[in-house]
Structure 1
Amino acid sequence: MLDVSQVSHSYAAGGRLWRKPAIPVLQDISFTLEPGMCLGLLGVSGTGKSTLGKIILGLQRPTAGRVSFAGQDWYARDRRARHHMRREVQAVFQDCYSAVNPLMSAGQIIGEPLRNYERLSALEQKRRVAELLEQVGLQASDADKRPAAFSGGQLQRINIARAIALRPKLIVLDEAISSLDMVNQTQILTLLSQLRADYGMSYLFITHHIQAALTISDRMLVMDKGQIVCTADSAAALMSSPHPAVQQLIAARLPEHPSQRLDWSSET
């Protein structure tokens, strides 16, 4: 469904009066994502994961290479065609607060893609928003509340409800659980797994949390310095990789049992 072929990207450097060599961010990235699959894209900060996510979402034209969705090149389509394709590709970002308009109600936020792509009556849209709220573990009455009334975990559920409103084929989750505490992370991962089972959607799960990727992903790619350095189809294959970038992610993993964690209170 998603085909990323030899994608490279660089950012221009320098000012108006002088130019420096372009800074490479991505180098020859290629992979595919099949329908119904969750592909984990791992790496520490600065490896180019979010830039690649923007390119896949059609928000950043790559310097080189091709991104195809359902057989269509994102960047070879005209504006109208890209608008139609964007219905099938949605996103959930890390900062659940900046991703919403604080002056809009939850119902208005979730209903925004419905207004853009569907021709629903006010009653039909209200009913659909109520269903979406309940699907992500909130209540229909929450539709009238504004973002300030929700916790971070609840607000991320609203962002997820907005992302699934059109029943897209692919959702790009860019560090979607990173700003949440561990309880909310677990709850959101469980919710995402259930929604994928219900709707058959595909996920591109961008994260630096190796445990989260292992929990939800069918296949995992590890990026380092703008390149894919490891591909793993199982937890065992990933954990046994000798590549330093993988070992760095493993070393940063928080042990599951509290007794195995560093006792910071003992530090002086």
Structure 2
Amino acid sequence: MSLLQVQEVSHTYRKNRLFGSTRQQPPILSNISFSVDEGVCLGLLGSSGAGKSTLGKVILGLEKPQQGKIIFMGHDMYSMNATARRKIRRDLQVVFQDCYSAVNPRMCAEQIIGEPLSNYNSMSSLEQKRAIGELLERVGLQAADMVKYPHQFSGGQLQRINIARAIALNPKLIVLDEPISSLDMVNQSQILALLHDLKLSFGLSYLFITHDIKAAYALSDRLAVMDQGELVGQFENKESIFTSSHPAVKLLLQSVLAEHPRARKIKSVKAECRAL
């Protein structure tokens, strides 16, 4: 059984009009279906406005879809009661794009990482402090960093704090919503390497939401592409994305090619993806 199943999910926002009436908007998501197996990273690609982040919210239980189901660990996320949803929620974590807005600026690293531990585990203060120190070291920081506040970290360091918080409960699945797009190239490569290492070490599954085909190729086992709210391609073998004839997939490839006007060939994209 798949760890996550997205079954025929459709969603549309309604816009309020004068006198209390509403107007139906074009669908944000249209009949989306895919699955994520244990230990697998699915890279979900798409340009801005493709519906990727909305789908991420639906999967996380933050935005109820108008149609379809989200089945996580065999349970329908939107048919469970609040108690059952909270229990299963520990196995579904998230790392957001903006590492600064994802944390409370008044909380130190120990409090940020310790929040899920306090919510779900019964640990003494000494046990929790030791666990937080180990998590900090696991993501490439030092245990002594737990006393620091968000403004005392660089963007790359703070994203490591967010990753430490996400893995604190040893979840089954982590939704990575553009986790490196706000970082510089050096930090992007380092965070991708860290995520890859954690995936292997903990047997994690990822849903990697991104517009960056090079990053998706580097981290993912499988790839899928969204365009205008539809899933237009799924690639069990990620190499096959380079031979896709769909216009949206070609556009993603061209977005990489555009950085190298003297070598605008698909094979150059392959080389760059494999080099990461």
Pairwise TM-score range, normalised by the shorter structure:
over 0.9
Query: Which residue of structure 2 aligns with residue 155 of structure 1?
Result: 158
Query: Which residue of structure 1 aligns with residue 270 of structure 2?
Result: none
SS for the counterpart of 1:245 is helix
Deviation at 1:168, TM superposition (A): 0.2
Q: Is 1:199 matched up with 2:202?
A: yes
1:40-93 superposed Cα distances (whole Å, 9 cap, x missing partner): 000001010001001100111000001000110000000000000110000000
Distance change in 2, residues 1:170/1:10 (3 Å): same
Contact 2:13–2:24 (8 Å) recurs in 1: no
Distance change in 2, residues 1:187/1:254 (3 Å): farther
Query: Which residue of structure 2 aligns with residue 4 of structure 1?
Result: 6
Query: Which residue of structure 2 aligns with residue 144 of structure 1?
Result: 147
Percent identity over paired residues? 58
Distance change in 2, residues 1:139/1:228 (3 Å): same
Query: Which residue of structure 2 aligns with residue 29 of structure 1?
Result: 32
Contact 1:25–1:226 (8 Å) recurs in 2: yes
1:3-43 superposed Cα distances (whole Å, 9 cap, x missing partner): 11000000001335232123310000001110000000000
Q: Report the count of equivalent residues.
A: 261
Alpha-carbon RMSD across the aligned residues, in angstroms, is 1.7
Query: Which residue of structure 1 aligns with residue 132 of structure 2?
Result: 129
- Alpha-carbon distance in 1 for matches of 2:245, 2:255: 15
Q: Is 1:107 matched up with 2:110?
A: yes
Q: Is 1:87 matched up with 2:90?
A: yes
Q: Is 1:65 matched up with 2:65?
A: no
Query: Which residue of structure 2 aligns with residue 266 of structure 1?
Result: none
Query: Which residue of structure 2 aligns with residue 117 of structure 1?
Result: 120
Deviation at 1:254, TM superposition (A): 6.4
- Alpha-carbon distance in 2 for matches of 1:138, 1:15: 51
Aligned counterpart for 2:254 among listed residues 243, 248, 251: 251
- Alpha-carbon distance in 1 for matches of 2:112, 2:17: 38
Query: Which residue of structure 1 aligns with residue 190 of structure 2?
Result: 187
- Alpha-carbon distance in 2 for matches of 1:258, 1:242: 21
Give 2:118's aligned amino acid.
R
Query: Which residue of structure 2 aligns with residue 232 of structure 1?
Result: 235
Distance change in 2, residues 1:258/1:197 (3 Å): farther
Single out whichever of 154-163 and 11-20 deviates more from structure 2. 11-20
Query: Which residue of structure 1 aligns with residue 59 of structure 2?
Result: 56
How do 1:155-174 residues align onto structure 2 when only pairs under 5 Å count? 155-174=158-177
Give the TM-score normalised by the residue count of structure 2.
Answer: 0.91
- Alpha-carbon distance in 2 for matches of 1:13, 1:211: 36
Give 1:8's aligned amino acid.
S
Deviation at 1:260, TM superposition (A): 6.5
- Alpha-carbon distance in 1 for matches of 2:215, 2:236: 15
Query: Which residue of structure 2 aligns with residue 210 of structure 1?
Result: 213
Flag structure 2 segments of 5+ consecutive residues without an equivalent.
265-276
Aligned counterpart for 2:179 among listed residues 168, 176, 187: 176
Distance change in 2, residues 1:99/1:258 (3 Å): farther
Give 2:64's aligned amino acid.
R
Give 2:16's aligned amino acid.
G
Give the TM-score normalised by the residue count of structure 1.
Answer: 0.94
4+ long deviations beyond 6 Å:
254-261
Contact 1:107–1:143 (8 Å) recurs in 2: yes
Flag structure 1 segments of 5+ consecutive residues without an equivalent.
262-268
Contact 2:166–2:174 (8 Å) recurs in 1: yes
1:235-260 superposed Cα distances (whole Å, 9 cap, x missing partner): 42001111111111111126898996
